[in-house]
Amino acid sequence: MMAFNSLTDRLSNAFKNLRSKGKLTDADIDGTIREIRRALLDADVALDVVRSFTSRVRERALGAEVSDALNPAQQVVKIVNDELTEILGAGVDRPLNFAKNPPTIIMLAGLQGAGKTTLAGKLGYWLKDAGHTPLLVAADLQRPNAVTQLQVVGERAGVPVYAPEKGVQSDGGDEVSAPGETTGDPVKVARDSIKLAKDKLYDTVIIDTAGRLGVDDVLMKQARDIRDAVQPNEILFVIDAMIGQDAVKTAKAFDEGVDFTGVVLSKLDGDARGGAALSVASVTGKPILFASTGEGLKDFEVFHPDRMASRILD
Ligand code: GDP
């Protein structure tokens, strides 16, 4: 344990020689900006994002009143906290954008290992629990195991899975595999799954797509082709909270590649301090809708900007 662990402690220390009351001055703020920068970098916020964030905080802090109620350190922490919550909370007044005419189509995109398939199960389970009739769709035909993995996830969640192979059985009550020959075309799988959802009255379709270890033009085009074919109501970009400094590059690539509508932060049960959340939110301006917090079906929640802000500042 360090002596000054939290940002509040660090700032209090930075301010310990400050006696005057009144407004915060440039000189006061300079010392604290360094502490804020360190705290954010410790939380793995990307460097560029730290820079723009601290300059906004400086602007807001300059001339801010220092009162008896809030000492200078508390005052700056409040500004930092407000600013964080604002960026992280952009648009979090909707958990999901449901279609007026079902099915609602939700497409998942992200790097391999980000947690898409796991999320498909969680989202399906969550929706089913809320009275929906979800269908999971295996449109990741890149990895040999991906279809099977989604089927396992679907079985666990009790949610049917639409998969391209002939005769593949899924749990959740229905046999929903594509009839006929196996197809290797994920766009066709996605398109067919929507037809099936309309026929069988599944009200939500969750499409799992392929992801590579790095950003990949071919797969990005494939994701875009799927998107254009089915026109999803939501395109959720799933990102591993542990990704750290790479968050910006990855988020930008997917934002340009598929123009996602919302973010899901996965693996928040790990050690990550959540800097990726701030990086992604500030670089893309897209809302973070959900947090994934473990390997279990219920390790999933609607995203809370205020909790994330304190986690980053802790
Ligand atoms: P995909 O390649 O994007 O489909 O990623 P997967 O869903 O296969 O997840 C990759 C690995 O991360 C698997 O071992 C999952 O069990 C694990 N995983 C996914 N989400 C979480 C999470 O929120 N917390 C933890 N601890 N592990 C997760």
> Residue 203 Cα, ligand 1 centroid: separation in angstroms?
25
6 is in an annotated binding site: no
Q: Which residues contact 246 (CB under 8 A, 6 or more apart)?
A: none
31: tokens are 């010392």
Q: Which atom of ligand 1 is the closest one to the Cα of 270?
A: 26
Looking at this predicted complex, what is its ipTM?
A: 0.99
Report CA(133)–ligand 1 centroid distance (Å).
Answer: 24
Q: How far does residue 260's CA lie from ligand 1's centre (Å)?
A: 20
Residue closest to 72 by CA, chosen among 149, 14, 142: 14
Looking at residue 218, its amino acid is V
Q: Report the helix count and the strand count for the chain, using DSSP H and E.
A: 11, 10
114 annotated as ligand-binding = yes
Give this prediction's pTM: 0.89
Quick check: CB of 295 below 6 Å from ligand 1?
Answer: yes
User: How far apart, in whole angstroms, are the C-alpha atoms of residue 291 and residue 301?
Assistant: 5
Residue 185 assigned to a binding site: no
Query: Ramachandran region of residue 104, left (φ > 0), alpha (ψ -120 to 50) or beta?
Result: beta
| DSSP character string of 18-44 | ----EE--HHHHHHHHHHHHHHHHHTT
Task: Please state the atom number of ligand 1 nearest to the C-alpha of residue 120.
Answer: 7
Ligand 1 binding pocket includes 121 (Cβ within 6 Å): no
> With a 6 A CB cut-off, is 282 part of the ligand 1 pocket?
no
Any atom of ligand 1 within 6 Å of the Cβ of 110: yes
Q: Residue 290 in 3-state DSSP? A: strand
Residue to mutate, 108, 116, 118, 300, ligand 1, most ligand atoms under 8 Å from C-beta: 118
Does any ligand 1 atom lie closer than 6 A to the CB of residue 122?
A: no
Ligand 1 contacts CB of residue 269 (under 6 A): yes
Query: In tens digits, what is the pLDDT along the chain, a chain of 314 residues?
Result: 344 467 667 766 766 655 555 677 777 788 788 888 988 998 889 999 999 999 999 999 887 777 777 777 778 888 888 899 989 986 567 789 999 999 999 999 999 999 999 999 999 999 999 999 999 999 988 877 899 999 999 999 999 999 975 544 444 444 454 443 344 799 999 999 999 999 999 999 999 999 887 778 888 999 999 999 999 999 999 999 998 888 999 999 999 999 999 999 999 998 888 899 999 999 999 999 999 999 999 999 999 998 898 888 87
Measured from the Cα of 108, ligand 1's closest atom is 3
Q: Do you know the residue count of the chain? A: 314
CA of 192 to the centre of ligand 1 (A): 27
- CB of 265 closer than 8 Å to CB of 256: no
